[in-house]
Structure 1
């Protein structure tokens, strides 16, 4: 393994407009239950805990939530992370123009670390996804490794074209139609890409028309890095699953699938 520390980043800047109104941040929506070791002592398990546990399984014991102002219930719930035997910190997002801007708020704190990116309103399998993505990064020394999941809804995802060696050739954001089968849902990257992301945003932040522009997808930044010669690899989870509880249909599916399971 690399001597560099691996730090998780969880962007939590969304407003949950598609499933609002909610009495809490969507990242804390209870889905499924957890067993506290006593008979019939089951407690609700919130959505983002599944992500944190998958990071922890990969040896990631430090992570930052990057919050939209007002989402104070997340640090109130997890506090310092002791409930998960992790060290958790909380940063406040700045410019509300997409995930890249949100992630860049962590730049001063994580610029020398390996980054593990996961979205805290997503439920995915397999459990060891970050273990395998980190292993591919170590084995290939790629600048970025994307965890890929099958999807039949390309219009909602960043679709990934990759070759037989796993090298990513192109990321296409939310195409109306696509012959590609896999979307990316998690990622790991090196300080080289953290620096690229930071510098990519500098001219955008200086653009006086930024508030009128569309949000910048993080997939577009990764594609720009590919164009500049960055080595991006894919770790494919052919039997994996990926549910975005920020959409009504997937939220219903998640509740139905996990309501009878205890973790």
Structure 2
């Protein structure tokens, strides 16, 4: 596996589930942290939790993919030096869903290992991304998904796993399901980066004509159907909260404040 690890962080959404809020949801304050210069407590924003996960997992470079107008994100995080990261900012060009935002970084991440998360999902354990990378090293999987037990399958991409932890199916927000695990974080290598790039180019014309968007889960499922190996790490005692919805945002504020 390539040794260089980079983070991909999509921040091109409209944040409509929380609207109206006074800033991009990625920099909405939840909890507190010690200021890197002054040593006192100051508010900790949503996106910092994921960036810290990525830094612990060995990423030195993280690419934010932004929608035009969300300039408060680079204004807040700057170059990332306070988090011991190099941050770069790319602008989303194709409005057909998160995979197209991620593909904006294609030329920068082609031959690298990618760690991925949604900036509005808070998750534990602290070494979750490291465990995904370790599983990828052990299995040579093209993709490894971090899976969590959730109570409301209709709000998540749910995954079916075989006895060896291989992901065999992904169901997007099923109305009813016996599946207990969602996926919320991932790592992948160049094979999947290349697959996603070509798959998105193939699907773009249809999306342009008919409308709609693709999800990351749909692209991963297409990769499974094409023969790529997708492994999993299940965090049975872990947790994940989607703070992009009001009820989970309230829970996170109560837990972290």
Task: Give the alignment's TM-score, normalised by structure 1.
Answer: 0.94
Aligned to 1:222: 220
Q: In the TM superposition, what are the counterparts of 1:74-223 in structure 2 within 5 Å?
A: 74-207=73-206, 210=208, 212-223=210-221
CA apart distance, 1:171: 0.8
Cα drift, residue 235 of structure 1? 0.5
Q: Which structure 1 segments of 5+ residues have no match?
A: none
Aligned length, in residue pairs: 257
Corresponding residue number in structure 1 for 2:246: 248
Post-superposition shift, 1:3? 4.0
Question: Could you say what secondary structure the match of 2:17 adopts?
Answer: helix
Instruction: Tell me the alpha carbon deviations over residues 110-161 of structure 1, each in whole angstroms, 9 at most, x when there is no partner.
Output: 1111111111111111110001000000110000000001111111111011
2:232 to 231, 234, 255: 234
CA distance, structure 1, for counterparts of residue 97 and residue 77 of structure 2:
24
Cα distance, 1:211–1:26 mapped onto 2, change above 3 Å: farther
Mapped partners of 1:182, 1:204: distance in 2: 28
Runs of 4+ in 1 over 3 A off after TM superposition: 36-40
What is the alpha-carbon root mean square deviation over aligned residues?
A: 1.6
Contact 1:133–1:187 under 8 Å retained in 2 = yes
Distance 1:248 1:182 in 2: 22
1:240 shift after superposition: 1.1
Aligned in 2, Cα 1:127/1:74: closer, same or farther, shift over 3 Å? same
Q: CA deviation at 1:211?
A: 5.8
1:108–1:40 CA distance, 2 compared to 1 (3 A): closer
Provide the rounded CA distance (Å) in 1 between the counterparts of 2:39 and 2:105: 41
Any residues of structure 2 matched to 1:68-79 within 5 Å, and which?
68-79=67-78
Cα distance change of structure 1 residues 64 and 37 upon mapping to structure 2, 3 Å threshold: closer
Contact 2:160 2:179 in 1 (8 A): yes
Q: Is the 8 A contact 1:4 1:112 kept in 2?
A: no
Secondary structure class of the residue paired with 1:17:
coil
- Per the TM alignment, residue 60 of structure 1 is displaced from its structure 2 partner at its CA by 1.2
Gaps of 5+ in 2: none
1:210 Cα offset (Å): 2.2
Q: Matched residues in 2 for 1:253 and 1:15: separation?
A: 22
1:21-36 to structure 2, matched below 5 A, reads 21-36=20-35
